[in-house]
Amino acid sequence: MTAADTVKESMSAVMDGEANEMDLARVLRAAAEEPSSRSDWLRHHQQRAALLGQAQVKIDISQRVQMALKDNAKQHNRRHPMTGFAVAASVTLAVVFGGQQLLNGPSADVFKQLPGGVVPIQGAAPVQASYGAPIAAQPMNTSSRSAPTRNQVLYEQLARERFYRYSTEHAQATAALQPNHLIPYARIPERAK
Amino acid sequence: MTARETDQQLVKRAQRGDTRAFDLLVLKYQGRIAALISRYINNSAEVEDVAQEAFIKAFRALPKFRGESAFYTWLYRIAANAAKNHLVARGRRPTSDADVDDAEYFDAAEGLRDTESPEDTLLGDELADVVRSALEDLPEELRMALTLREFDGLSYEEIAEVMECPVGTVRSRIFRARDAVDIRVRAQLRGE
Amino acid sequence: MIALCSGTAGASCGLSADNEQLINAMLQAADTTAYSGTILLEHNSERQFVSVNASREGGKGSLRRLTSRANAPTEHFSTVGMRTADACALAARYGFEIQQGQPVAGRSTQRLTIKPRDTLRFGYVIEVDDISALPLRVITATPDGQVLERYEFADITIAAESDWPTPPLTRVPGRFLMASLPPGFTVVARRMTPVETLIVSDGFAAASVFIEPAADKLPDGEGAVLHGSTVSYTRGLSMLGQQVLVTVLGEIPLTTARLVADAVRPAPLPGEIDAD
């Protein structure tokens, strides 16, 4: 049995409430680290609900919920003099699409032995915390609201749409600056072409 | 085996603050909770907002959840209340706010029409048909194990007795049955 | 080419002569090396193989996505490079470490670990080819080591060195400029199509800033999406008496993208050059 099958078997046991602690730990770890495991879990429950005739809507707010739980108490606003609207110092409104996966390879100790410590600047710390964790739409200016406003949904869609629209231009504009000129082009998503 | 027991392990972890366990509960129940909220609220974006709010309320209230009822029953009540409260709050909004027409609002952003709208497709009969037909085509020993589990609600131990095989085999058969169904469903839904 | 760092001696920026030489060679290798091969690029849940041929002719290279649909078209890219900082300039923003690297595509390498000195940029682990100094494997990670993207050559054939021309930096007048960019970042180029675009870089990381008019009804706001190491951050605001949409698209942290958007200002006079 492959490692992936071991996770899937443990997941199946967790679904049935028949899992031991090791199964549960394995599934929780996989779900946190592998987007495909979260998708497996989601689909298996959709299929179960369909099989049992339970009404369900196709929706995925799980990342939004996770992010809201994490950042709820951490909203610090600052007001930008020019734009006139408050810009939260913590990371807001970022959405990972296409699933986020932390690739294999060097992890936390990658940079450990280097000289000089990392100095957080202007609220950058929440960025560190956000990358590598599921990120979802977040309230921008308030700490009490958990649901994103329509303005936030609108801008998230705009950012996504611009990502597709301008990927090619971005590659052309920055390829010369990269150590490997090809990579910006390779990054262009299929949909943008 | 009851629904109550299947969630117990995750709920316990979530009560200790393990957001990963709560994440799995959200993934598991979000579709059904959204279906419930859709009965109160028409707008899909609002359904998502209220569903999110309900899960966050549930997480905060978890320490008070004693397990007298199944987790889903408890969550269902929270979501139904959130939907009702949302309607009440909406009714009290100043008309100027309520009058903002969604289509006009979104059209103000040029280019938006090319983007996908939030998915609000009802996962209905189509998925059920595909899953059922995938189940029927499974080899007998896999189909029986999964059927006894899903439709008859038997525990692995009870299924082991019925099928006269070790519990480990039951566990493995149910996993393989689910995996086979999943592969078939994905292939079929992709192929359309 | 703009030489932002005038220091030529390694001692002035704390780099050993060997390290400085390797970093500078790596930064320029793609400009002067002809090669062909296959690259594996992984980001998000995507993984794709790209067949690449960077020839000498006309400063052009071609690529083809092997994991895409059958008969994917050949795409072209420019192999002409533009360096806006050298090793010494980069040392102000990044820490460097060099050690023996893992072989990549059968070639021996040195591992260059580039650690950001603040949280406004990502870090990189680069396996640099011993002979050509081409980056053969590059891992992009957050400052705390979370991997966002990786690419590496699955196979590569390196030809002799060539000498491609360096393009002049275009400085066309625009309607916008950048005031107080995040530390280390400068405007390195400007494009006027399809919309006014300012390109900013710290010498290693780069982002494009697209500025376009938006409908008057568009409310102020901001939003972002992340894809691998790429962030797309869009902000709507009022400038020059009209609604403007600023999009920062680049391989930089979200906070940095936001600070870059903060820096966008209308140019006081037509033809004014960037004030950074």
The closest alpha carbon to C239, from A81, A82, B108, belongs to A82
Task: Work out the pLDDT band at C137, boundaries 50, 70, 90.
Answer: very high
The answer to whether C233 contacts A159, with C-beta atoms less than 8 Å apart, is: yes
Question: Is A146 a residue whose pLDDT tops 50?
Answer: no
Q: Give the mean pLDDT of A138-162.
A: 65
C220 touches chain B (CB under 8 A): no
From chain A, the residues in CB contact with B175 under 8 A are 5, 8-9, 11-13
C214 closest CB neighbour out of B104, B105, B110: B110
| Residue B21 phi, psi dihedral angles, 5° rounding | -65, -40
Tokens of C92: 């102000």
**B48 contacts in chain A (CB < 8 Å):** 59, 61, 64, 147
pLDDT of C180 higher than 60: yes
A155 to C221: CB separation less than 8 angstroms, yes or no:
yes
Are residues B104 and C215, on separate chains, in Cβ contact within 8 Å?
A: no
Dist CA A48 CA B177 (whole Å): 12
pLDDT at C248 over 90: yes
C273: nearest Cα among C206, C204, C198: C198
With bands split at pLDDT 50, 70 and 90, how would you rate the model's confidence at A10?
very high
ipTM above 0.90?
no
How far apart are alpha carbons A57 and A73 in whole angstroms? Answer: 30
**Interatomic CA distance for residues A166 and C225, integer angstroms:** 13
The pLDDT value given to residue C136: 94
Give pLDDT tens digits along chain B (192 positions): 455 466 888 998 898 888 889 999 999 999 999 988 988 888 888 899 999 999 999 998 888 888 777 898 889 889 988 998 888 877 744 322 322 233 223 333 333 322 222 233 445 668 888 999 999 999 999 999 999 999 888 899 999 998 999 999 999 999 999 999 999 998 887 765
Q: What percentage of chain C exceeds 90 in pLDDT? A: 23
Q: Do A49 and B32 touch (CB under 8 A)?
A: yes
Report CB contact under 8 Å: A13, B186: no
Q: What does the pLDDT look like over C210-242, one tens digit per residue? A: 999 888 888 888 889 888 899 999 999 888 788
State the chains in contact with A (3 or more Cβ–Cβ pairs under 8 Å).
B, C
- B180: closest chain A residue by CA: A44
Residues of B in contact with C214 (CB under 8 A): 109-110
pLDDT band of residue A149 (cuts 50, 70, 90) is confident
**Kind and range of the H or E run holding A78:** strand A77-79
B110 to C217: CB separation less than 8 angstroms, yes or no: no
Confidence of residue A72 (pLDDT cuts 50, 70, 90): low
Chain A residues within an 8 Å CB radius of B11: none
**Distance from the first to the final alpha carbon of chain A:** 40
Contact A53 B13 (CB under 8 A): no
Alpha-carbon gap, residue C12 to C9, rounded angstroms = 6
Q: Does A17 touch chain C (CB under 8 A)?
A: no
Would an 8 Å CB–CB cutoff place C221 in contact with chain B?
no
DSSP state of C10: G
- Whether residue A89 is predicted with pLDDT greater than 50 in this model: the reply is no
Say yes or no for a CB contact (<8 Å) between B56 and A153: no
- Strand-pairing partners, residue A88, are A77
C214·B104 Cβ contact <8 A: no
pLDDT of residue A147: 57
* Residues in chain B within 8 Å Cβ distance of A150: 45, 102, 105
Spatial distance between the Cα atoms of C179 and C177, rounded to a whole number of angstroms: 7
pLDDT value of residue B93: 40
Question: Chain A residue with minimal CA distance to C125?
Answer: A110
Q: By the CB < 8 Å criterion, does B125 face chain C?
A: no
CA distance A44 to chain C (A): 20
Question: Is residue A162 within 8 angstroms of chain C, CB to CB?
Answer: yes
Residue of B nearest to C236 (CA): B109
pTM for the model stands at 0.52
Average pLDDT, chain C: 81
| B-chain residues near C216 (CB < 8 A) | 108
pLDDT greater than 70 at residue C198: yes
> In sequence order, what are the residues at sequence separation of 6 or more whose Cβ sits closer than 8 angstroms to the Cβ of residue C44?
A96, A97, A98, A99, A100, A101, C227, C228
pLDDT: which is higher, C119 or A126: C119
Distance from CA of C214 to the nearest CA of B (A): 7
Beta strands in chain B (DSSP E): none
B36 Cα to chain C: minimum distance (Å): 29
CA distance C204 to C59: 21
pLDDT tens column, C63-118: 888 865 667 788 887 777 777 788 888 998 899 998 888 889 888 899 999 999 88
Helix or strand run (H / E) with residue B59: helix B44-61
Cα B180 from chain centre: 21
Which of A26, A54, A65 is the best mutation test for B, with the most CBs of B within 10 A? Answer: A65
Give B107's contacts in chain C (Cβ within 8 Å): 215
Look at residue C156 and give its three-state secondary structure: strand
> What is the chain B residue with the closest CA to C234?
B109
Q: Which of B100, B107, B110 is the best residue to mutate to test the C interface, defined by the most C CB atoms within 10 Å of its own CB?
A: B110
Cross-chain CB nearest to B59 (options A14, A17, A69) = A69
Is the CB of residue A77 less than 8 Å away from at least one CB of chain C? Answer: no
Q: Which position has the higher pLDDT, C222 or C14?
A: C222
For chain A, what is the mean pLDDT?
68
| Residues of chain C above pLDDT 70, percent | 83
User: DSSP character for C240?
Assistant: T
Question: Which chain A residue is nearest to residue C123, measuring alpha carbons?
Answer: A111
User: CA of A190, closest CA in chain B: separation in Å?
Assistant: 15
What gap in Å lies between CA B24 and CA B43, rounded to an integer?
A: 26
Contact between chains at B52 and A31 (C-beta distance less than 8 A): no
* % pLDDT > 90, chain A: 18
Fill in the DSSP letter of residue A102. Answer: P
